[in-house]
Amino acid sequence: MKREAPALDTVQQWFQAVVTHPEGVAAGSAADEAQRLIRLDRGELETIVRRSRNLTAEERLSIYANAYWARLLECLGDCFPVLKQALGEDVFDSFGFEYLQRYPSRSYTLDRLGESFPRFLDETRPPDADWPDFLVDLARLEWTLAKVFDGPGVEGQALVRPDDLAGIAPERFAAARLVPVVCLRLLVSRYPVNAYYTAARHAEEGAEEGKDVPIPEPGEELVAILRRDFVVRRYTLSRPQYALLTALLDGAPVGEALAAAAAASDLDDDGLAVALQAWFRFWTAEGFFHRLDD
């Protein structure tokens, strides 16, 4: 049947509906969304798309349909390699397949493809189960690592060094604001996903290649993440360290941040004072702070 050529906007909306349909081209072209745009009876695909000598219109459209899912699942897997390893490819792809239907890409860049994946895992978790926390937290960790890797950084800029804090009077230090580097992120996890991440990478790269890393037992883990010399670094934190850095990230004066650390600490004053000195020495050596604002 000869039909009038549909307008460009109609063709494109129809094409997209057909090749991104989760059940493939035949189901996509029969679905309401495509039918509202171009009404086709069974076997009429070739009134819109030509067949070739070797392939039917449906087979040709399926090249795009296959590529759509394969490409985006591959990219999503690249965003969350350790989560994919933990779940296994089939399970990861089944989560990814659902995710891409609920959160299709709306950006010019694939770098944002996984942005809502942790949230999706949280939204679709089975009720009354704790283990999804592991998946959500691991996804959140991997997404944060990726963002820190290619986000704003402080390479080439002067940072606060250990000696910079040595001679400052206590009152002045307490009133000052110690500004963290722009790439510092803090994460609280319900499972030790950072430790798991390290073990999984060792298993992948080292002598234990191919060996499965067991899913850990639940347990709070606090982590600081930053980038130095273009490489992402991870630091496990204690509760008082986390409280202190959180307060500094929130823009609190150092005195308030120290009070937050003290409130979270079991150490006596002397013990805490010694610990604080060691923490600041370590953090400044590692490039945690951009500047000290009086």
Q: What residues numbered 101-140 form the site for other proteins, per CB under 8 A?
A: 104-111
152 binds other proteins (CB under 8 A): yes
Task: Choose between 130 and 150: whose C-beta lies nearer to other proteins.
Answer: 150
23 binds other proteins (CB under 8 A): yes
With contact defined as beta carbons under 8 Å apart, do 261 and 244 qualify? yes
d(CA 243, CA 239): 6
Q: Site residues for other proteins, window 238-257 (CB under 8 A)?
A: none
| Minimum distance, C-beta of residue 70 to other proteins, in the bound complex (Å) | 5
User: Of the candidates 30, 35, 56, 119, which one interacts with other proteins according to CB under 8 A?
Assistant: 56
94 binds other proteins (CB under 8 A): no
Tokens coding 209? 């290649």
| Minimum distance, C-beta of residue 27 to other proteins, in the bound complex (Å) | 8
1 binds other proteins (CB under 8 A): no
d(CA 14, CA 16): 5
d(CA 17, CA 34): 6
Q: Site residues for other proteins, window 260-279 (CB under 8 A)?
A: none
Tokens coding 237? 């934190």
Residues 6+ apart with CB under 8 A from 159: 181, 284, 287, 289, 290, 291
Residue with tokens 């081209």: 25
With contact defined as beta carbons under 8 Å apart, do 9 and 41 qualify? no
Tokens coding 68? 């759509």
CA count, 13 A, side-chain hemisphere, 107:
10
Size of the site for other proteins (CB under 8 A): 73
Instruction: Kindly give the pairing relationship between strand 185-189 and strand 221-228.
Output: antiparallel
| Minimum distance, C-beta of residue 3 to other proteins, in the bound complex (Å) | 8
Give kind and range of the element (H or E) at residue 46.
Answer: none
User: Of the candidates 41, 43, 78, 293, which one interacts with other proteins according to CB under 8 A?
Assistant: 78
Task: Choose between 66 and 124: whose C-beta lies nearer to other proteins.
Answer: 66
| Minimum distance, C-beta of residue 153 to other proteins, in the bound complex (Å) | 6
User: Of the candidates 83, 86, 139, 145, which one interacts with other proteins according to CB under 8 A?
Assistant: 145
7 binds other proteins (CB under 8 A): yes
| Minimum distance, C-beta of residue 187 to other proteins, in the bound complex (Å) | 14
220 binds other proteins (CB under 8 A): no
159 binds other proteins (CB under 8 A): no
66 binds other proteins (CB under 8 A): yes
Instruction: Kindly give the pairing relationship between strand 289-293 and strand 177-180.
Output: antiparallel
Handedness of CA 224, 226, 231, 232 (dihedral sign): positive
173 binds other proteins (CB under 8 A): no
36 binds other proteins (CB under 8 A): no
d(CA 93, CA 132): 16
223 binds other proteins (CB under 8 A): no
